[in-house]
Structure 1
Amino acid sequence: MERDPVSRLIVISNRVAAPQPEGEGGAQGGLAVALSAALREYRGFWFGWSGNRIEEFTGKIDFQRHEGVTSATIDLEEQDVEEYYNGYANRTLWPLFHYRIDLAEYDRSFGAGYERVNERFAETVYPLIEPEDLVWVHDYHLIPLGRQLRQRGVANRIGFFLHIPWPPARLLTTLPDHEHLALSLLAYDVIGFHTREWLESFQNYVERELGGRCDPDGWIHVGDRSVHAAAYPIGIDYREFSEAAASEAARSACERLRKSADGRRTIIGVDRLDYSKGLEERFLGYRRFLEENAERRGEVFLLQIAPPSRGEVHTYETIRETLDELSGRINGEFAEVDWVPIRYVNQGYGREDLAGFYRASNIALITPLRDGMNLVAKEYVAAQDPDDPGVLILSRFAGAALQLKDALLVNPYSKEEISDAIRQALAMPREERVRRWRSMIETVRSEDVVWWRRRFVAALAGEDVEAAGSARAAG
């Protein structure tokens, strides 16, 4: 019996976060939700690192299946984790791609570990790839993987999606051997970015540093190699999130926060503890608001949820210490006996709890200094009461700002702009809040994760590539 030529989708990412059975595990990130949803529609599997460390790499694959998603994971050696993950991925590429060259560390051992782990991924997964499979590789950890698979004879259509910004050429050229990294992307058939800005940064690099040609229809030519690159802005799983927001757990979380607010307005921020999220700048902008609007003190508080991440990287220890000190200083300066201006929480919550917190909050303050997309902004919009929605304050440097144009867009580096936006949000009439929300919810609903993955997979399968490359929302 002839098999459907697009019957399997092989997803490869650094970590595998397939859905857990009810009651096991906490909140899933945006990538986990998006890819799990994709794999429920296609036969195939999700391959990556288990998160476990072993003394010696064996290449043994652990297959599991949860809620319709098959995962295939491998364990890595301690040295692999230190050089590839903590090193090149998160101490070199992450800061550089988020425009923080002052924090980027360049170490040859990091680069060697990065190549070695990509080789191990390729060597382990390529025997599992069948001739008609589509292969979809994700994010900055695995840029060389397509090249490694090609070297092993994989002729399948292979796509790559970058979930973080692509930096301007003048920044990327500070990376030693940057040409080798960029040329690795040419092994893919389709390259996806969240926004046209990141796409244009890549195109500019290709023309300036590689001597390539970029056509208006998205085709990029370097030497005898041609690949298609386009903007594919990711969305949330709108249906799944709406169900979570309507759950009893979400209603309970909403009431819990409203009760604790005791009639005060709630400003919410939910971010992984990372210097790219602009948390220090957010606290300083909120502090400026308290300074300039003394009459509002006691009427509003900021709930900042910031679960720790990458604790083994020194930079993240520093940002946590900075925020601990800053939040304590602001509370010490402005708090009253019956009011604390900042509730700073260093723990994560499940999606249903977060949906309830979003609905109970009058304002979302989302101010990353640089962000590939930012799905929290879209989740906040999706969780609102249609008759009395809250206000989204969003950094203009988040990818989501190009789609959510009716948010209050701010420069996160400006304390004054953040302060002014909070004051404007608190005073905004219900009619204006409803009008802005209706515009944004239509985008969140129609340009969701299903829309995102279908456009990318269609391009990867070679179906209507030019149409798939026209990103209305990312324009």
Structure 2
Amino acid sequence: MRDASLVVVASRLPINDAAASEGVFEWRRSPGGLGEALHPVLVNTPATWIGWAEKTGPTAPLPDVDGVHLIPVELSEDDVHDHYEGFANSTLWPLYHDAVEPAVHHRRWWEAYQRVNQRYADQAARVAAHGAVVWVQDYHLQLVPAMLRAQRPDLRIGFFLHVPFPPPELFMQLPRRAELLHGMLGADLIGFQRIQAVHNFHQLAAKVLGANADEHGVTVDGHVTRTGAFPVSIDTAEMEALASLDEVVEKAAKLRADLGSPQRVILSVDRLDYTKGIEHRLKAYRELLADGRLKASETVLVQVAIPSRERVEQYRLLRDRVEREVGRINGDFGRLGVAPVHYLSQVFDRTELAALYRAADVMAVTPLRDGMNLVAKEYVAARVDGCGALLLSEFAGAAAELTQAYLVNPHDVEGLKDTLVEALEADASEPSPQMAAMRAHVREHDIQAWARSYLTALEAACAER
């Protein structure tokens, strides 16, 4: 039955897996995740979300969550292995992140990618009302816009890429590069995080497809697809309110006491992913301790590493390396009652995260490549006291907006060490003009502003069509 006027199509449904397994359905709100980004936009809005429920085989109908109607897409074990773990995360993900790890190519993965994308497109075509807005999300589903356009030319189709879009020399390595570009170009509007990604896409469309590309978009075979940069953001007001709660302030003080009341606390919150620069960060911290520039009795690094893609070999090996390095640092520089690194491989709820942000003197966000990184913005929003320092990679999308942060090249370990020390030596107990400027930015450019900007541009693109 076609009755949905706003349809979000994403790889996964935004529900908490652990809670759902016990029959309690609630929104998944992990740091920096897609569900976290779209929750404030969709909550209590008449919207439908199509995605995988993270169970193989048939899935029973799901209840609405926060007013959003959920429609599961059925995937087999082979679909998950070849589409999600294979083509999406072992072929596309590495190439889209500067080939930090080598991309792997298998023909059966591409066949699965096509098959699964068609399944998502079919489901969207079935439920979308006439003239509905269908908003397709991210690299897992790059073929869906064109597949959907073929079935339902009446729809207003948007596509948003949350990860970086690579330069031509990397994308050209893909055996199915033309098909991927054609898939995206089925949309009326393609949104990217940064303007450089728009330029990369235009160059590739011209080179691979012979398309006409200008500052507004791309034209192929008479179809015009508008393009633009729409940096995603956070629910700033919600994080500010959470961080202002008495219980969060008290929890932050208790966290520092539990850490041994160090003079300085460094915090990092990442998915456990090789693009996040966790190993480079640990190496820099170890060398600072070894050089005597930092003392374990005075400084603590809290590394939250949220488990991710644990069935993919590259991620299992990364976890082993990170945990070995944490053990090595604590073994070499710790003593009874003092651990230089507190490593936490778990998911924290919003209140606990806000307390961690309030407890940290320095937030270290140093990915090797990142589409945006919403954790950096969350930290800024949580510092309602105007204090704290943000150490931010030049290669995170957020660096283009939060220019007052301590910007660093995470590949340069010596530079990373120097900049970390500089951030630690700033007076974290006093409000700074740098933090005030960043806070003003995330207030003005919050998640609602992002959604309005994108959907307004989509309406304009459809009006032109």
Coarse TM-score class (shorter-chain normalised)? over 0.9
- CA offsets per residue over residues 33-69 of structure 1, 9 Å max, x none? 2222222364221111111101xxx6x7724212222
Q: Match for residue 44 of structure 1?
A: 47
Amino acid corresponding to residue 11 of structure 1 in structure 2: V
- CA offsets per residue over residues 329-370 of structure 1, 9 Å max, x none? 122222233422111111111111011011011001111000
Structure 2-normalised TM-score? 0.92
Output aligned runs, 1:98-113, within 5 Å.
Answer: 98-100=97-99, 102-113=101-112
Q: Match for residue 194 of structure 1?
A: 193
Amino acid corresponding to residue 43 of structure 1 in structure 2: P
Q: CA deviation at 1:181?
A: 0.8
Aligned-partner Cα distance in 1 for 2:218–2:112 = 29
One of 389, 392, 398 as aligned partner of 2:390: 392
Q: Match for residue 144 of structure 1?
A: 143
- SS across alignment from 1:96: helix
Aligned-partner Cα distance in 2 for 1:269–1:236 = 18
Shift in alpha-carbon separation, 1:431–1:63, aligned structure 2, 3 A: closer
- CA offsets per residue over residues 108-137 of structure 1, 9 Å max, x none? 110000110111112223121111211100
Aligned-partner Cα distance in 2 for 1:430–1:282 = 20
Q: Match for residue 228 of structure 1?
A: 226
1:286–1:418 CA contact under 8 A, matched in 2: no
1:16 aligns with 2:18: no
Amino acid corresponding to residue 164 of structure 2 in structure 1: P
Structure 1-normalised TM-score? 0.90
Q: Match for residue 35 of structure 2?
A: 32
Output aligned runs, 1:411-430, within 5 Å.
Answer: 411-429=409-427
1:272–1:307 CA contact under 8 A, matched in 2: yes
My pick for the range that moved more, 105-114 or 119-128, is 119-128
Output aligned runs, 1:330-349, within 5 Å.
Answer: 330-349=329-348
Output aligned runs, 1:78-117, within 5 Å.
Answer: 78-100=77-99, 102-117=101-116
Q: Tell me the matched-pair count.
A: 455
Q: CA deviation at 1:8?
A: 2.7
Shift in alpha-carbon separation, 1:182–1:432, aligned structure 2, 3 A: farther
Shift in alpha-carbon separation, 1:92–1:415, aligned structure 2, 3 A: same
Amino acid corresponding to residue 369 of structure 1 in structure 2: L
Aligned-partner Cα distance in 2 for 1:181–1:26 = 29
1:288 aligns with 2:291: no
Q: Match for residue 305 of structure 1?
A: 304
Aligned-partner Cα distance in 2 for 1:230–1:343 = 41
Q: CA deviation at 1:433?
A: 5.3
- SS across alignment from 2:154: coil
1:18–1:36 CA contact under 8 A, matched in 2: no
1:276–1:368 CA contact under 8 A, matched in 2: yes
Q: CA deviation at 1:430?
A: 5.7
My pick for the range that moved more, 360-369 or 15-24, is 15-24
**Over aligned residues, Cα RMSD in angstroms?**
2.4
Amino acid corresponding to residue 394 of structure 1 in structure 2: L
Amino acid corresponding to residue 436 of structure 2 in structure 1: R
Q: Match for residue 68 of structure 1?
A: 67
Aligned-partner Cα distance in 2 for 1:257–1:300 = 14
* Structure 1: gaps (5+ residues): 1-5, 467-475
Q: CA deviation at 1:25?
A: 7.4
One of 422, 439, 461 as aligned partner of 2:437: 439
Amino acid corresponding to residue 441 of structure 1 in structure 2: R
Q: CA deviation at 1:290?
A: 1.7
Aligned-partner Cα distance in 2 for 1:430–1:294 = 18
Identity in percent: 36
Q: Match for residue 472 of structure 1?
A: none
Aligned-partner Cα distance in 2 for 1:378–1:465 = 33
My pick for the range that moved more, 174-183 or 337-346, is 337-346
1:393–1:409 CA contact under 8 A, matched in 2: yes
* Structure 2: gaps (5+ residues): none
Amino acid corresponding to residue 351 of structure 1 in structure 2: R
Output aligned runs, 1:252-401, within 5 Å.
Answer: 252-264=250-262, 265-294=264-293, 296-387=295-386, 389-401=387-399
Amino acid corresponding to residue 39 of structure 1 in structure 2: L
- CA offsets per residue over residues 129-180 of structure 1, 9 Å max, x none? 1112111000001000111112223421100000100011100111112111
Q: CA deviation at 1:102?
A: 4.4
Q: CA deviation at 1:75?
A: 2.6
Deviating beyond 6 angstroms after TM superposition, the runs of 4 or more aligned structure 1 residues are: 19-23, 463-466
2:4–2:129 CA contact under 8 A, matched in 1: no
Amino acid corresponding to residue 30 of structure 2 in structure 1: Q
1:247–1:352 CA contact under 8 A, matched in 2: no
Q: CA deviation at 1:197?
A: 1.8
Shift in alpha-carbon separation, 1:233–1:41, aligned structure 2, 3 A: farther
Q: CA deviation at 1:79?
A: 1.0
1:18–1:71 CA contact under 8 A, matched in 2: no
Aligned-partner Cα distance in 1 for 2:420–2:320 = 26
1:363–1:390 CA contact under 8 A, matched in 2: yes
